[in-house]
Structure 1
């Protein structure tokens, strides 16, 4: 039997704080008060990843009513078509579910260190959550402003795609390393990698699209920026004095379609394929990145034989390295 204290006593207090009041409405009542058909409300909740509730389950508050009204308003204003609403709400649900799980774990771990965990968790909810909410709003607004400038620039040329450098960075030997670590050690190792990678990407003006287990997908406006990010990470991974894990990377440059925070298209596929065939500690680039960087004296390339990979019978990779001095040349 676990000797961990029971924190369920704090649940009602925390839930009431987060939702503004204790649940007092059924899903039927919420839909009626919001003036939204129940089938639409159910679809929204399902897209958000919320569990199903029976018609007589008292599981909702006035906040749910307001959320449905706001969604209806956005549709009436023409901002959200049914298709866009589904995509947006689904993205919200996935993103916030992951964030909520991490934040809840963090608060619970801190609470368990106190003599009275229930009181500590309640106190943390009242003191920490307002600050977290404010910071999340700030981060969202900053990213929204940055995304708006990029998106409007693309829309101004009338194309859904824009030229970007796409880079995958993959940890070498992740499977064997993960088997030798405890759960806590594995989480700490991955979080350390993600934290260091985020810093490198930000330092060079790139943007992380997502972390996929032992892999990071990022984009940059220029091939040079992506090259510096990839070369910096592989150099750190090859340094025995650096805790950064050994990695391999693939960089491709070309038109990319951006949608709901993700990226799509052949350029993304090429970067992924290049990463899959890269040797540990190396950076492979495609023809597009090669041609863009070829005139830069900072880099040197090594032409590899065409490599068959899934979807590309004759993928042409180039090994990218920093040049010690002078103009970069092909080896």
Structure 2
């Protein structure tokens, strides 16, 4: 076991040595030997500080510990080593050593969702793990705004994973343990955390690699198409992509009325339906928008088929009816999202559609060659925020 001094324990926790002394005097931290602190002790200091910041007094913490209602013993488990302590260098020092601009380094903490640090604050050890990747990009001459965009995407995506994992842990582990009258160590489930954590990390990395392969393959295809188009062999506009908006009528209101558990079940059902309904047809969900989902389809025809199938499956899945709009044309892509007139018009068409209806633009109908799908002209429509009228068609099976 690695030991550290009182001063080192304070430095790693971001507190003054006197704060460590106070925790020892109270018995909240009990080092095995005077002046020798373990990694678990440092995590106890961090936890005590976090509880105080949450306006839970140390006196109340001490009372709970003495009553057996609370325990910090779980912090000795290997799974909790991710409660990162502070590194030895400040943001200013790391910037000088690596050549990574200071504002890019401080963006690491902002990407995690924490307040912007000062240049003389020390990095956390988990933040230090990000620095070599930033330094590589800076050395390669990449644009700083591009580096920061990717960093923030990483931060946002991992935050969503961590928050979902936290909700899962609370519902599946902690709440049942508390309801069963388990002791504090059972509630923390340190043993289960030790077993599950490496498997969870393996699962996340596996899913990331699978997504990475798909994204990189798409980049290769895009590059090949551009090169062939430049050589006059293939026109990229022969198959304009389609943007699809699927809105579920009253979805937000319904989830609010049914409570958290039912809302979670509905969200899971909808997520499964849109994923399975779009991916086999060459599409992918781009983002969730309150009562609906935005999709990208490489080809309009399969996108129409996917939309019809998803609308048809809503009732059987226990969901309210959906209404859909599709438009095909050039799109602008940035950070995995899509922008431009094609996106805007697709959204307006979806707004115009009635429950159970799939409406498409003329561009989609012209580019679609799917068997068993017909388009019925409903004439010009005045769409909110769109100048002039737009010819719309209703897609149907048959």
Task: Give the TM-score taking structure 1 as reference length.
Answer: 0.82
2:240 to 163, 170, 187: 163
**Correspondence 1:234 to 2:311:** yes
- Aligned pairs (5 A) from 1:110-149: 110-112=172-174, 113-114=176-177, 115=182, 116-118=186-188, 119-120=190-191, 122-149=193-220
* Secondary structure of the corresponding residue to residue 319 of structure 1: strand
Aligned to 2:105: 41
- Please report how far the alpha carbon of residue 249 of structure 1 lies from its aligned counterpart in structure 2 after TM superposition: 0.4
Mapped to 2, the partners of 1:253 and 1:106 lie a distance apart of 39
* Secondary structure of the corresponding residue to residue 316 of structure 1: strand
- Aligned pairs (5 A) from 1:282-293: 282-293=357-368
* Secondary structure of the corresponding residue to residue 115 of structure 2: coil
Which segment is superposed worse, 142-151 or 194-203? Answer: 142-151
- Please report how far the alpha carbon of residue 18 of structure 1 lies from its aligned counterpart in structure 2 after TM superposition: 3.4
Say if 1:14 and 1:125, in contact at 8 Å, map to a contact too. Answer: no
Aligned to 1:326: none
Q: Cα gap change, 1:281/1:38 in structure 2, threshold over 3 Å: closer, same or farther?
A: same
Mapped to 1, the partners of 2:291 and 2:98 lie a distance apart of 43
Bigger relative contact order (CA 8 A; separation at least 6): 1
Task: Give the TM-score taking structure 2 as reference length.
Answer: 0.69
Mapped to 2, the partners of 1:35 and 1:75 lie a distance apart of 8
Aligned to 1:299: 374
* Secondary structure of the corresponding residue to residue 182 of structure 1: helix
Say if 2:247 and 2:324, in contact at 8 Å, map to a contact too. Answer: yes
Structure 2 stretches of 5 or more lacking a match?
A: 1-68
Deviations 1:92-121 (A, max 9, x none): 222222122112222333321344121256
2:139 to 72, 76, 79: 76
Mapped to 2, the partners of 1:138 and 1:220 lie a distance apart of 22
Max Rg structure:
2
Mapped to 2, the partners of 1:253 and 1:34 lie a distance apart of 46
Deviations 1:228-287 (A, max 9, x none): 1110111122x4x44243111001111122222111121111110000010000000011
* Secondary structure of the corresponding residue to residue 356 of structure 2: coil
Q: Cα gap change, 1:312/1:178 in structure 2, threshold over 3 Å: closer, same or farther?
A: farther
**Correspondence 1:50 to 2:114:** yes
Which structure has greater helix proportion? 2
Structure 1 stretches of 5 or more lacking a match?
A: 324-331
Aligned to 1:95: 157
Mapped to 2, the partners of 1:30 and 1:15 lie a distance apart of 28
Aligned length: 315
